[in-house]
Amino acid sequence: MSVAAATVRRIAHLARIAVDEGEIEPLRGELNAILGFVEQLKEVKVEGVEPMTSVTPMKLKMRKDEVSDGGDAAKVLANAPQSEDGFFLVPKVVE
């Protein structure tokens, strides 16, 4: 698969990246190299290989899922720049 210059411009537009005309060809080459590498990965035989998230086997530590009040509300609210009636005050962001 080969990427055309028009495709590079379209990708840059969708990503909201300003790309000068002089940068189109180098980016086109880089994208083609990436796609070539992906094509090589399709040739790898993966039948019977278990999916993994790490190269070393790991198991997450589990803890009991308990609802708590967060401890002392006054201590939690002490971190807030502003609070009122036991709640954090935040600036209005939606009109």
Residue from 38, 14, 42 nearest 30 by CA = 38
* Domain count within the chain: 1
- Is 9 a member of any domain? yes
Backbone angles phi, psi at 63, to 5 degrees: -135, 160
> Is 34 among the domain residues?
yes
The answer as to whether 10 is a domain residue is: yes
Q: Is residue 26 part of a domain?
A: yes
Domain residues for the domain of 26 are: 5-41
35 in a domain, yes or no? yes
Model confidence pLDDT, tens digit, residues 57-92: 888 888 888 887 677 888 888 888 999 998 999 888
Give a yes or no: residue 36 inside a domain.
yes
pTM: 0.51
| pLDDT for the residue 92 | 86
What is the C-alpha to C-alpha distance for residues 83 and 66, in angstroms, rounded to an integer? 26
In sequence order, what DSSP letters do the residues of 14-42 get, joined into one string? Answer: HTT----HHHHHHHHHHHHHHHHHHHHHT
Q: Does any domain span residue 13? A: yes
Q: Is residue 55 part of a domain?
A: no
